Structure 1
Amino acid sequence: MTVSLIKGSHFLFVSFYLSTLFFLTLSTCYALPTKEVSKNVSNEHVLNNVMTEKTKSLRQLSDFERLVATKMALDIRYFCPEASPTKSESTKPEYTKQSGATEPCLQPVTKLPQVLAEMVTVTGLGSVVLFAENLITTEQIIQLTYDLQQAAVQSPSGQPLIISIDQEGGRVVRLPHATSFAGNMAIGATYADHGVKFATQTSTVIAKELTALGINNNYAPVVDVNTNAANPVINTRSFGENPQQVAELGVAAVNGFQQNGVMATLKHFPGHGDTHVDSHLGLPLVAHDLATIEKQDLAPFQWAINHSEPAMIMTAHIQYPALDNSTVVNNAGEKIIRPATMSRKILTDLLREKMGYDGIIATDALDMAGIAHYFDEVTAVVETFVAGADLAVMPFKIRKTEDIELFYQFIKDVAQSLQQKIHHNALLSTELMQSIARINRYKAQYCQPPEISVAKQILLAEQLIAQPEHLALEQTLANNAVAQLRAKQNSLPVNVADINRIHLFVLNWQEFGALKHAIINQWQRGGKAAPAVSATVVAQGDTQAQLQNGDKLAKADLVIATVDTKIASAVTSVVDTGGAEDLLTQITSMKNEQHEVGYSLLLSYQLQQAQKQKIPSVLIAKGSPYLLHPYIDLASTILVNFDDHIYQKKDEQSGNEQAYSSGYITSMAIIFGQQKVRGKLPVSLQ
């Protein structure tokens, strides 16, 4: 018998293999969660009392089937226990019927239903992904993560859950009241003067806040090198266009997360920075040659593997023919180039063997169109496992009670298909056990439930999350990140003595409140009475009234306009709200919010009028700097603050809740001469 030591592990592979099988063999019954787990759902029926014979049969999972479930990560974003069963005439496997529902379930899971707790226990599910809808208050989040872990540790394996979140900072955040920061491109804008300082500090704060809530894995940082100005899904989520800079900042973020108790996830391997297709909506192809791939796309991942120990690397649903030009047959019977997520050449031969990575390989969400539009659920999961992925993320949706039964069937079908693959390639059996060992190794290090009581955990978290020190760092990052794209000679700072009236052009009243607060804040710091502030609020009324709003503008000494480049350009991604499931909701929202349509035209008109009347104007861009070309010659000054977050914060002087933006505070300080521009754009604008 060959005995091999797994890299980075303190346990022999054979020892783990034997102990795992021994434990699973002893575990012939499936315990329900304790009363402590289900105390918030005491009115629900225990599923055992109402199970059909078919359900009882499905719940009898084999050891192998539970191992397969260990390699899955489900979201529990929504669940409708009272939803009507879905009717379908489909001849496909039964679980595909879940896609036939006409009314989507949009009831957020904020407390763990008994039936979901039992599903976690019975299957030995490996991981859960939380979204903004699951995260309301500190107390509620901690109770939810606690209940999830209690359900998990009662599974036959006794292993805790990897509880994951996308808390990148900036454009992609899920926690409602935590410190969010301005995001990766803002951090990249500080690199020239501060190196990796802010990458380390921000990831440290994010990790501490996640740990306090019972969340142990962050799907961050993004280390894609963004070289495509038309990239709809990465752009400001990237640290920049310089591979070495991205690499160093990525390693700093990994260390900041993991030294503070949270697994880090580098994404999206082998690189998503040079695409113009969002993989939530389609299947991108990168046509780089091998030299470019190694120098640009792979460089940050290789650097991180060499200089840190990232717990996870997430795959991209993307085609890289220079790395793997082999084909796979899709649902339509067509041969297409294998996506990286399904490529053994990319995940095993390249990432695992050539690049030397021994952490967890996780797929990007398998419900994204880059996979889901081309492959059925079972094929997608099995192909990713054969390729070398350890964790299949969001391969199946549980949205109603009947979906739980379908999920058991799904596990069995995946297991059966995988066993057929193993029958033809015995190496896959060894790799499966290595994969389980790898997952459990990181669970032992990062995922153990807190030893303190829930009440104590809540108390500590409330003292920690968004504490003044963390919010001060958020403002300090903004102070050092805001960059200048354009400034006419002598346009900055403005002469405060010449300013008696300022006119604002904003999308909505929240924008107006945050911007006005930032203006007043800066004038009060200078010991001066604030100027009069008027505004054109696009969400307020009809377009004709906005176009004729010239009297307010004509009386102004300064025009300040804001633009969210996602809205102004109609370039957006469902990643901003969550995932592929949001596409329908997003389209409906756009139809209902007609004031956003044409915002760019209205903005251009306002800036043109200011220009004609020789009124100085400042445009503050929130989001991607790539999309500002229409305004380059219209505004006197353009500032880029990268961040589009506005939240309610208690005003230091009045004590009242106030709309607040750290980027606006910095921008006003620059405009009115309280500080100089410090940020430097980490990308080229062509």
Structure 2
Amino acid sequence: MANRPSTLTASLTGKLLNRLPSTLRSIVPSNKQTYLSLSALIMMVLITLSACQSQAEERNMINNSTSILSFTPFERAVAQKMSLDIRYFCSNINGKTSVPTSKHCRQAVTELPTELAQMISISNVGGIVLFAENVQEIAQVVKLTHDIQQAAVKSAHGKPLIISMDQEGGRVARFAKMTGFAGNMAIGASYPQHGTYFATQVNAVIAKELKALGINNNYAPVIDVNTNVDNPVINTRSFGESASQVSELGGSAVSAIQAQGVMATLKHFPGHGDTHVDSHLGLPRVDHDRATIDKVDLAPFVWAIEHAKPAMIMTAHIQYPALDNSSFISKSGEKLIRPATMSRKILTTLLREEMGFEGIIATDALDMAGVTHFFTEVEAVVETFVAGADLAVMPFKVRTPTDIDNFYRFIKAVAKVLSSRIEQNEYQLAEFKQSIARLNRYKRQYVEENSKSVSQQLLFANAVIASENHIKTEQALANAAITLLKTNQVLPLNMTSIKRLHLIVANQQELAALTYALNQVIQNSLSTSDVDQINVSHFIADTSNENSELNIQMQSLIKQADAVIATVDIKTASLVDLGGMDDLIPSYGSAAQQRKKRTYSTFLKQQLTLARKLKTPSIVIAKGSPFLINEYSELADSVLLNFDDRLFETDYQQVISPGFNASMAVIFDEKKAQGKLPVTLNNQ
């Protein structure tokens, strides 16, 4: 027994010596006693070397692996600070690419391909963003999010990741099967009568449904104060033009979302309300002075940080010279003012230090033109990390297996450049570690590993998504928000005196929804025997060809009618409706689409002019932007606005529009228009 320690020591020493460099092994004496006496010393040396190596790795964390599948701890941490979209993916077929380039891939990811599952596990990526292409049916979404998280827990991080989606309500709502709502400006219109009630109720429903689907982060609410009538990207996504009203509603929305266990995201910091350029297509600039910025643009963010503790704030790709007038040289050599997403003065000095924000700073999508026109992919991510962002959203497109390999290289490239910035003392490793700790802290709070089976999750989701109570809340908002912009003593119509109505709509779906709404008020107002006495004619724009015979028929129908009721969808096109630059394909904004929209607009104005000439009362039900209503309100006797109302089909194949329901109830005096426009129009 007495010989065991020395034997063990000799064995260990032999193994330790083998780990020494050959130059050191050559000087070790062959004498056994001396050999053994060196054991402790050698062990101490190796322990010291190991500690030094760990300290070196801690200092720079930049050891690049020769294999793209092998990542250093620092590289894995860099990937944790990225969130990818997986909108499309085209697998190889028989080992060959199925599309000429990744830009040609339009295969929607509704089931997680093996290649993407492996990418999530290998890369240690921190988040996934879902879009309309990814979410088609309830069961499919539940399975997709479950599979994403299963892949995530197999990563080196070993934890589920952030799954995000834009489900603001209104014009930006990715999953059509969810309860839709009329959007933030509708909530703003309800504020004078209902205060923050609908901001709370609507966002609680949205968050509850998202969580049931396995989505733990909503890119909402928008708290930009809309002070520019020509703003194409914010518009009705804003609660309105009053900073104090936007503050209250935004704070209530954040609290409601996070009370359901979903991270809320305030956007777009430091404010996107006074712009006329869509940051999907260019680099907007706000020239407010600092006093205006504090009073208007920053006010809702300050309020929400203090009263609602948002988990996340999203940056804007927007120039604010009064906050940071420093410049950068774009990839084309142009000298430009640094956008907020890449500004340390705005993200760290202002947001983090002065405003005291403790949550996650996420970028807006880095594939937007406000970034890609001026920065390379690697530059964009490094610049926003150095500025103070915690999460780079959509920094790299993965559409094919080749893109996956390139993404691994991209992670390494970002890590290498970021490490260089650390070595040059332009960024602190301590900040990087704090950012990772911040991400992990909010993941622990909101991103839970679901212990339920897919079938159990599905049962719950089916019971929650677009439930009867949630649909009632959607209708309640529509009723509260409906805004009477013009009446000209036409409204309300007397149901008992109406014998003929003429409806003008853009398409068959609108006719079905408008007819449903009309039938509801008729049945509520008239006895069964009187219902059939009302004759309803209609014109559907997309099923008719204009000709002289049709014009004569239209003139006759309008002349015979006791009233004309027309619908119109008015909004400025923006890529935000579709989800960003990846959807910039030939069909979007095509000449055919624009021509079709202009054709209906022209036709509607002709018919409204004819109705006025024939002295037939005309009523326009508009949805969308109040800033674009003037050309119709000049011609119509009465105008009702229901903002970003949606049409949806029930299980009984009925097409319903909560906004049309609310409008018809006002037209026939079943309800009063309660909404008050939360923005000022030029003609007011």
TM-score of Structure 1 vs Structure 2, range by shorter chain: 0.7 to 0.9
Look up the SS of the partner of 2:428 in the other structure: helix
Answer whether contact 2:283 2:317 (CA < 8 A) is retained.
yes
- Tell me the residue number matched to 1:627: 628
Deviation at 1:410, TM superposition (A): 0.7
Answer whether contact 1:398 1:404 (CA < 8 A) is retained.
yes
Query: In 2, Cα distance between the equivalents of 1:75 and 1:85?
Result: 23
- Tell me the residue number matched to 1:260: 260
Which residue identity is paired with 1:572?
A
Q: Deviations over 1:341-379 (max 9, x none)?
A: 000110001000011101000000011111111111011
- Tell me the residue number matched to 2:400: 400
Answer whether contact 2:645 2:658 (CA < 8 A) is retained.
no
Deviation at 1:477, TM superposition (A): 0.7
Deviation at 1:585, TM superposition (A): 4.2
2:557 aligned to which of 549, 552, 561: 552
Deviation at 1:532, TM superposition (A): 2.2
Deviation at 1:329, TM superposition (A): 0.8
Which residue identity is paired with 1:73?
S
Answer whether contact 1:514 1:664 (CA < 8 A) is retained.
yes
Q: Deviations over 1:398-432 (max 9, x none)?
A: 11111100100111111111111111117521111
Which residue identity is paired with 1:263?
M
Look up the SS of the partner of 1:160 in the other structure: coil
- Tell me the residue number matched to 1:292: 292
TM alignment of 1:192-341, pairs within 5 A: 192-341=192-341
TM alignment of 1:178-577, pairs within 5 A: 178-425=178-425, 427-489=427-489, 491-528=490-527, 529=531, 531-544=534-547, 547-548=551-552, 549-566=554-571, 571-577=572-578
Query: In 2, Cα distance between the equivalents of 1:398 and 1:461?
Result: 29
Which residue identity is paired with 1:255?
S
Deviation at 1:103, TM superposition (A): 5.7
Query: In 2, Cα distance between the equivalents of 1:196 and 1:595?
Result: 39
Which residue identity is paired with 2:537?
S
Which residue identity is paired with 2:536?
V
Look up the SS of the partner of 1:125 in the other structure: coil
Which residue identity is paired with 1:503?
H
TM alignment of 1:163-178, pairs within 5 A: 163-178=163-178
* Greater Cα shift, 364-373 or 75-84: 75-84
Look up the SS of the partner of 1:460 in the other structure: helix
Answer whether contact 1:574 1:586 (CA < 8 A) is retained.
no
Closer, same or farther: CA 362–544 of 1 in aligned 2, 3 Å:
farther
Deviation at 1:597, TM superposition (A): 2.8
Closer, same or farther: CA 298–588 of 1 in aligned 2, 3 Å:
closer
Q: Deviations over 1:272-328 (max 9, x none)?
A: 001111111111111111111110000000011111110000000110111111101
Closer, same or farther: CA 467–305 of 1 in aligned 2, 3 Å:
same
Q: Deviations over 1:480-515 (max 9, x none)?
A: 1100111102x1111222312211111111111111
Query: In 2, Cα distance between the equivalents of 1:103 and 1:392?
Result: 21
Which residue identity is paired with 1:311?
A
Query: In 1, Cα distance between the equivalents of 2:205 and 2:82?
Result: 28
Deviation at 1:590, TM superposition (A): 4.9
Query: In 1, Cα distance between the equivalents of 2:257 and 2:78?
Result: 28
* Greater Cα shift, 577-586 or 137-146: 577-586
TM-score for both structures, normalised by structure 1: 0.87
Query: In 1, Cα distance between the equivalents of 2:525 and 2:589?
Result: 45
Look up the SS of the partner of 1:584 in the other structure: coil
Deviation at 1:602, TM superposition (A): 1.4
Query: In 2, Cα distance between the equivalents of 1:104 and 1:66?
Result: 30
Answer whether contact 1:516 1:533 (CA < 8 A) is retained.
no
Query: In 2, Cα distance between the equivalents of 1:354 and 1:289?
Result: 18
Answer whether contact 1:539 1:596 (CA < 8 A) is retained.
no
Answer whether contact 1:159 1:440 (CA < 8 A) is retained.
no
Q: Which runs of 5+ in 2 are unaligned?
A: 1-50, 59-63
Answer whether contact 1:149 1:161 (CA < 8 A) is retained.
yes
**Percent of counterpart pairs with the same letter?**
55
Answer whether contact 1:72 1:391 (CA < 8 A) is retained.
yes
Q: Deviations over 1:534-588 (max 9, x none)?
A: 222111133446655322222211111111112xxxx210111211111224436
Q: Deviations over 1:122-165 (max 9, x none)?
A: 11110000001111111111111011011111111112110000
Answer whether contact 1:189 1:680 (CA < 8 A) is retained.
yes
Look up the SS of the partner of 1:163 in the other structure: strand
Which residue identity is paired with 1:470?
H
Query: In 1, Cα distance between the equivalents of 2:665 and 2:214?
Result: 38
TM alignment of 1:562-601, pairs within 5 A: 562-566=567-571, 571-587=572-588, 589-591=590-592, 594-601=595-602
Which residue identity is paired with 1:533?
V
Query: In 2, Cα distance between the equivalents of 1:251 and 1:391?
Result: 22
- Tell me the residue number matched to 1:60: 70
Closer, same or farther: CA 334–103 of 1 in aligned 2, 3 Å:
closer
Which residue identity is paired with 1:156?
A
Look up the SS of the partner of 2:422 in the other structure: helix
Answer whether contact 1:547 1:602 (CA < 8 A) is retained.
no
Q: How big is the alpha-carbon RMSD for the aligned residues of Structure 1 and Structure 2?
A: 2.1
Query: In 2, Cα distance between the equivalents of 1:284 and 1:544?
Result: 45
- Tell me the residue number matched to 2:31: none
Which residue identity is paired with 1:247?
S
Closer, same or farther: CA 154–658 of 1 in aligned 2, 3 Å:
same
Answer whether contact 2:83 2:126 (CA < 8 A) is retained.
yes
- Tell me the residue number matched to 1:78: 88
Closer, same or farther: CA 360–437 of 1 in aligned 2, 3 Å:
same
Which residue identity is paired with 1:410?
F
Query: In 2, Cα distance between the equivalents of 1:609 and 1:628?
Result: 19
Deviation at 1:112, TM superposition (A): 0.6
Q: Flag the structure with larger Rg.
A: 2
Which residue identity is paired with 1:601?
T
Query: In 2, Cα distance between the equivalents of 1:540 and 1:554?
Result: 22
Answer whether contact 1:85 1:402 (CA < 8 A) is retained.
no
Closer, same or farther: CA 199–81 of 1 in aligned 2, 3 Å:
same
Closer, same or farther: CA 509–619 of 1 in aligned 2, 3 Å:
same
Which residue identity is paired with 2:564?
V
TM-score for both structures, normalised by structure 2: 0.87
Look up the SS of the partner of 1:438 in the other structure: helix
Alignment of 1:661 with 2:662, yes or no, is: no
Closer, same or farther: CA 578–115 of 1 in aligned 2, 3 Å:
same
Answer whether contact 2:102 2:403 (CA < 8 A) is retained.
no
Answer whether contact 2:361 2:391 (CA < 8 A) is retained.
yes
- Tell me the residue number matched to 2:158: 158
Which residue identity is paired with 2:277?
V
Closer, same or farther: CA 616–320 of 1 in aligned 2, 3 Å:
same
Query: In 2, Cα distance between the equivalents of 1:590 and 1:260?
Result: 43
Look up the SS of the partner of 2:169 in the other structure: coil
Alignment of 1:681 with 2:665, yes or no, is: no
Look up the SS of the partner of 1:618 in the other structure: strand
Answer whether contact 1:214 1:449 (CA < 8 A) is retained.
no
Aligned residues: 617
Which residue identity is paired with 1:208?
K
Look up the SS of the partner of 2:432 in the other structure: helix
Query: In 2, Cα distance between the equivalents of 1:349 and 1:586?
Result: 43
- Tell me the residue number matched to 2:122: 122
Deviation at 1:74, TM superposition (A): 0.3
Look up the SS of the partner of 1:202 in the other structure: helix
Answer whether contact 2:102 2:400 (CA < 8 A) is retained.
no
Closer, same or farther: CA 322–544 of 1 in aligned 2, 3 Å:
farther
Deviation at 1:175, TM superposition (A): 1.2
Which residue identity is paired with 1:527?
L
